[in-house]
Amino acid sequence: MNETVRLETRIGADEAAAGGVLTIDLAALAENYRILCQTAAPAGVAAVVKADAYGLGAARVVPVLHEAGCRDFFVAHLIEARRLAAIRPRDSRLYVLNGLLPGGEAVCANIGAIPVLNSLDQVQRWSALAIARAMTLEAVLQVDTGMARLGLSLAELQALAADPAALSGIRLTMIMSHLACADQPGHEASPTQLSVMQAASAFFPGLPVSFANSAGVFLGPDYRGALARPGIALYGGAPTLAGNPMRPVVRLDVRVIQTRTVPAGTAVGYGGTHVTTGETRIATLAAGYADGLPRSLSNRGAAWFDGVRLPILGRVSMDSLMVDVTALPAALPPGALVELIGPSQTLDAIASDAGTISYEILTALGQRYHRHYAFPASRASGQGQS
């Protein structure tokens, strides 16, 4: 057996051993980056790759976005920056949205990450490190424009602007804020936040502004600033409630373990929360809440096969769930793949059935699926699968 055949055998075995196949279309990811660049222009477009690129694998996502032209990457936690530091392209910048917890300053500086400074205390500690090391450290300043999550108040920002010594050793590269209601077009909070952002920006004239997340990119030119920070839209989620111009990136298919036909009056799953009303053919699928299919899909969502909706029956278990396959014209053999996310059911549709958002579905996707990465043509050589 030559190397290639041996490799294929190994991949095939992994795929057969998994309860489902998660297909991640990196060409669609790159296309989404281009769509966002076109929409945001002349603003630049960063990529938010926190939570392992929304669950899709930052180690795969970052190089593809870099090749598409992205040079600015945002994570949330310093530990994420640490894990990405070794693999990120040298000509890229890596920002830490949650800023600096006490004790994190040296690590942040050592890996060359740029903290988003969210409080005067963080400014003070970053400046102290710069002075102690007799070097200049870059930073982004965040202002809270109306979300009460992270960032300096307008008053704190004004005080800081009036006291340049407080920024000793720090070179500010941007001022940023985050929109709370941008996914709801026409929401009154967005223009209010924009006016606070404009007031904040006036304290630091000439400093580039970063404001828009995915939804903000579609709110119009006023919101885009110099550098937009989309996350979910890159990964195919709908940026706003108004619709979804993005390409789907994720497809999830799960295997049938076994099927059975039961009479009317049969209780299905833990707690017997579904009782059949007629003879019913049930398929048990090899994924559950430990694989990121929320328990809130119990008796609510569906899987799909060949355009036929297969309603979820009873509670979602840890490792499996049951669906009603009575409507299918032919039996589903063990090992057959049914769709959870794909052409029949969008990411946003399953999220809505689960009473949550696309972000939570993506970031919860489990580690037990076989992951198939489809690479853009430019990167195709030798990297078909993982």
Ligand X SMILES: *Cc1c(COP(=O)(O)O)cnc(C)c1O
Task: Please identify every residue annotated as catalytic.
Answer: 50, 270
Q: Check residue 48 for interaction with ligand X (CB under 6 A).
A: yes
60 in contact with ligand X (CB under 6 A): no
Closer by beta carbon to ligand X, 6 or else 149: 149
In the complex, least distance from residue 215 CB atom to ligand X, rounded to whole angstroms: 6
Rounded to a whole number of angstroms, the minimum distance from the CB of residue 149 to ligand X is 8
Secondary element (H or E) of residue 3: helix 3-17
Task: Name residues contacting ligand X, limited to 89-118 (CB under 6 A).
Answer: 97
- Taking the least distance from each CB to ligand X, the nearer of 225 and 294 is 225
Q: 343, 354 in Cβ contact below 8 A?
A: no
Q: How far is the CB of 184 from ligand X (least distance, A)?
A: 12
By C-beta, is 216 or 288 nearer to ligand X?
216
Q: CA–CA distance from 252 to each of 236, 238, 259 (Å)? A: 13, 17, 20
Which residues, at least 6 apart from 74, have a Cβ–Cβ distance to it below 8 Å? 46, 47, 48, 49, 50, 94, 95, 96, 97, 229, 231
Residue pair 274/218 in contact (Cβ under 8 Å)? The answer is no
Q: Which residues pair with 176 in a beta bridge?
A: 142, 210
Q: Is 379 annotated as a binding residue?
A: no
User: At residue 3, what are phi and psi to the nearest 5 degrees?
Assistant: -55, -45
Contact string (CB under 6 A) for ligand X, positions 308-337, x = contact? ------------------------------
Residue nearest to ligand X (CB): 231
Total binding residues toward ligand X, as defined by CB under 6 A: 12
Q: What angle do CA 233, 361, 317 make, to 5 degrees?
A: 165
Per CB under 6 A, the list member of 232, 249, 252, 313 interacting with ligand X is 232
Nearer to ligand X, 97 or 293 (CB): 97
Q: Which stretch binds ligand X (CB under 6 A): 8-16, 223-231, 294-302, 312-320?
A: 223-231
Alpha carbons within 13 angstroms on the beta-carbon side of residue 57 total 22
Contact present, 58 and 74 (Cβ < 8 Å): no
Q: Is 135 annotated as a binding residue?
A: no
For residues 13 to 32, the per-residue mask of contacts with ligand X, x marking binding by CB under 6 A and - elsewhere, is --------------------
Among 178, 251, 255, 371, binds ligand X (CB under 6 A): 178
Cα 107 from chain centroid (whole Å): 25
Q: Which is nearer to ligand X, 98 or 317 (CB)?
A: 98
Residue 230 as a binder of ligand X (CB under 6 A): the answer is yes
Question: Tokens at residue 154, please?
Answer: 């307008």
224 is a contact residue toward ligand X (CB under 6 A): no
| Distance separating alpha carbons of residues 66 and 111, to the nearest angstrom | 19
φ, ψ of residue 146 to 5 degrees: the values are: 135, 40
Site pattern 195..214 for ligand X (x: CB under 6 A): ------------------xx
Distance between CA atoms of residues 315 and 335, nearest Å: 22
| Residues of each annotated binding site | 149, 318
| Residues of each annotated binding site for substrate | 149, 318
> Could you list the residues that contact ligand X (CB under 6 A)?
48, 50, 97, 178, 213-215, 229-233
